[in-house]
Amino acid sequence: MAINSPTFAIQPEQILLLKAALFPAQEALSYWHQWKKERGLDQFIPTNINLLPSLFDPLDGDSQRLMPLVYRNLEKSGDPLVVHLRGIYRYTWMSNQRFLLKMSQVIRVLHQNEIETIALKGIPLSLLYYGDMGVRLMYDLDVLVPTAQAEQALQALQAPPLSLQSSPFETKHRHTLHAMHLWDANGVDVDLHWNLLYEHSYAKADVPFWQARQPVKLTDRQSTYALSPTHQLYHNLVHGYDWSETPAIRWIADSYVIYTNPALSIDWHALLDLARQYNVNYPVQQALKLLESEFRLTLPSDVKERLKSMTLSTAETTYFSLVRKRSSNKAIKAIRYVQKNWLAYRLFRKGKSELSMSRWMYRQVRLRLDWNKRDLPF
Amino acid sequence: MPTNQYCISPAIVSEHFDDEVIIVNMSRGHYYSLRGSAAVVWQGLEAGTSKDGLLAYLAGTYATNEAELSKPLNSFLDQLVDEELVLEGTPSQTSPLPVRTLSKPFTPPLLEIYTDMASLLTLDPIHDVSPVEGWPIKK
């Protein structure tokens, strides 16, 4: 049975694994033992050629991606199975170094073109919060540029020396998107964002995030910016919610390493102000409740009170429930798509975007009709 | 006059885990693994320890006399210089090393070199690798 949070529907085994990855080592080990028992892994043959596949293959993607963090947390525990995760840690570290190099090249080109940048997601999280490039497996790298410079950034990255490629589908629909995929000759995926969140993709949507950005050093010679800790946490909570129909759990680890860091101070009221300002109260409230109940988030009493008394509009709760709903029935899918985008306009864009409702809906329908022509190589 | 001091090359990045150090030189596309005494030497180099200091540190760690260690240490340091992982010169900072004694016997430090990182990264880290060693050792 899933943990008592229908919104996130996180499975008990995922909770155990997260605790094994995140909690102090001695406690984590007991959660790891429980997790292994649940999965029938408390006994195994170390030389079995299928040991790693039997461990990884039945797992959901996000649980697989937690394994390097489990390894690092329990590497000195003497647990016989943890030893076998060493290779996946090593691989993750090496693979992420490749992304770090590519990120520094991308940042250099953008800066040479006088385009400001904020590194998003995996790289700043690894550098600033995990403090380890081997614990969070990345499949891509993400960089945010000012909305007004999106076209310029796209041109700069597609020109030599980087010569990144793009998808004709995404290029055609880029005015409807908040980001697009670019990739190099080796297939390294560089996601260029011109807005932080899909819901708020319009000019000036990201002003608070740019204003509070903080420096991050990528290499000895290359620096850029990252979101402030409060904004990083906000991004984790909102992005974690709507990333896919399958509840992601990475956002929990990404958030835990921020709010448990004693050197960081989170401005909880500012975070709730953002949730209200951007109409994302629902995912923020749900996420914080889960972190409080399972992952030792201790909120100040006035913040708890404010969270409890947060009023959620019907439009917001309907929108976020639609984000997660899936159907194989084409008619239902079409109705939900229109309803979701109509609500998205009302909640996130009305009065902020220059686009009229009819124009917005037209673009969304065009995007949907073209969806089968989506031509990404990943 | 032989060099007695080294500094870590700014072109590389490294990470310690368990009893291993992994190093990558992105510009050359090479990946290195140091285990056992090699990882102990690397820890000493990161702390800015001189060659004489490294000898004394190894001798203390493995309860072995310095005369036995000198030749393998020199050879290993030469290899690190050849691979441009360290540079001869004065380190910018030094820090104290932890005192420790290992029960394992001393074995000469070894630099494991993987020269084709791009192709290594195409190996599936779950299905193509040794169940014992894991990536990057093939099944």
Higher-pLDDT residue of A269 and A44 is A269
Say how far apart CA A355 and CA A169 lie, in whole Å: 21
CA torsion angle B24 B27 B28 B32 (round to 10): 0
Contact between A90 and B24 using a beta-carbon 8 Å cutoff: no
Instruction: Show residues of chain B in contact with A52, CB under 8 Å.
Output: 126-127, 129, 131, 134
φ, ψ of residue A341 to 5 degrees: the values are -75, -30
Given this model, what pLDDT does residue A173 score? Answer: 92
Say how far apart CA A236 and CA A254 lie, in whole Å: 7
Given this model, what pLDDT does residue A245 score? Answer: 54
Instruction: Show residues of chain B in contact with A50, CB under 8 Å.
Output: 131
Among the residue ranges A35-44, A121-130, A148-157, the one predicted with the least confidence is A35-44
Is residue A259's pLDDT more than 80?
yes
Given this model, what pLDDT does residue A5 score? Answer: 46
Given this model, what pLDDT does residue B36 score? Answer: 94
pLDDT average, residue stretch A279-283: 93
Q: Which of B10, B15, B125 sits opposite A87 (nearest CB)?
A: B125
Token pair listed for A22 = 């995140």
Contact between A87 and B129 using a beta-carbon 8 Å cutoff: yes
Domains of chain A from N-terminus onward:
1-80 (no CATH), 97-227 (3.30.460), 234-310 (no CATH), 314-373 (no CATH)
Nearest by Cα to A141 from A122, A156, A124:
A122
- Average pLDDT, whole number, for chain A? 92
CA B106 to chain A, closest CA, distance in angstroms equals 22
Contact between B136 and A87 using a beta-carbon 8 Å cutoff: yes
CB A349 within 8 A of CB A360: yes
DSSP A58-79: TS-HHHHHHHHHHHHHHTTS--
The ranges of chain B with pLDDT < 70 are 1-2
Among the residue ranges A1-5, A275-279, B115-119, the one predicted with the least confidence is A1-5
Given this model, what pLDDT does residue B100 score? Answer: 79
Instruction: Show residues of chain B in contact with A98, CB under 8 Å.
Output: 26, 117, 121
What's the pTM? 0.91
Query: Could you tell me the CA-to-CA distances from A185 to A116, A319, A377, B119 in Å, in that order?
Result: 25, 39, 11, 14
Q: Which amino acid is at A321?
A: S
Buried b (16+ CB within 10 A) or exposed e, B96-131: ebeeeeeeeebeebebeebeebeebbebebbeebbb
Instruction: Show residues of chain B in contact with A46, CB under 8 Å.
Output: 131-132
> pLDDT band for position A376 (50/70/90)?
confident
Say how far apart CA A308 and CA A15 lie, in whole Å: 24
Per-residue model confidence as pLDDT tens digits over A180-216: 999 999 889 999 999 999 889 999 999 999 999 999 9
Is residue A7's pLDDT more than 50?
no
Asked if B117 reaches chain A (Cβ–Cβ under 8 Å), the answer is yes
Say how far apart CA A120 and CA A129 lie, in whole Å: 13
End-to-end CA distance of chain B: 46
Q: Which of A72, A95, A97 sits opposite B17 (nearest CB)?
A: A72
Asked if A59 reaches chain B (Cβ–Cβ under 8 Å), the answer is no
Say how far apart CA A196 and CA A119 lie, in whole Å: 11
> Which secondary-structure segment (H or E) carries B7?
strand B6-8
Strands A189-193 and A140-144, bridge-based pairing: parallel
Among the residue ranges A169-178, A346-355, B13-22, B73-82, the one predicted with the least confidence is A346-355
Say how far apart CA A223 and CA A119 lie, in whole Å: 10
Kindly give, in sequence order, each residue whose CB lies less than 8 Å from that of residue A275, ignoring residues fewer than 6 positions away.
A234, A238, A281, A284, A285, A310
CB A209 within 8 A of CB A118: yes
Say how far apart CA A102 and CA A164 lie, in whole Å: 11
Query: Could you tell me the CA-to-CA distances from A183 to A99, A142, A225, A244, A248 in Å, in that order?
Result: 12, 12, 22, 22, 24
> Which secondary-structure segment (H or E) carries B76?
helix B66-82
pLDDT > 70 in chain A, percent:
96
Nearest by Cα to A38 from A67, A21, A5, A15:
A15
Contact between A87 and B10 using a beta-carbon 8 Å cutoff: no
Token pair listed for A83 = 């030893």
Q: Which amino acid is at A304?
A: K
Given this model, what pLDDT does residue A321 score? Answer: 86
Given this model, what pLDDT does residue A8 score? Answer: 54
> pLDDT band for position A243 (50/70/90)?
low
Interface confidence, given as ipTM, is 0.89
Is residue A4's pLDDT more than 90?
no
* Residue in this structure with the two tokens 């310029």, named with its chain if needed: A152
Given this model, what pLDDT does residue A10 score? Answer: 86
The conformation of residue B138, written as its DSSP 8-state character, comes to B
CA B31 to chain A, closest CA, distance in angstroms equals 8
CB A215 within 8 A of CB A223: yes
Instruction: Show residues of chain B in contact with A47, CB under 8 Å.
Output: 131-132
Asked if B16 reaches chain A (Cβ–Cβ under 8 Å), the answer is no
Helices (H), chain A: 12-22, 25-38, 51-56, 61-74, 86-112, 122-124, 150-158, 168-172, 207-211, 229-242, 250-259, 268-277, 281-294, 301-308, 314-324, 330-344, 357-369
Kindly give, in sequence order, each residue whose CB lies less than 8 Å from that of residue B31, ignoring residues fewer than 6 positions away.
A94, B22, B23, B24, B113, B114, B117, B120, B136
> pLDDT band for position A2 (50/70/90)?
very low
Is residue A6's pLDDT more than 50?
no
Contact between B17 and A75 using a beta-carbon 8 Å cutoff: yes
Given this model, what pLDDT does residue A3 score? Answer: 44
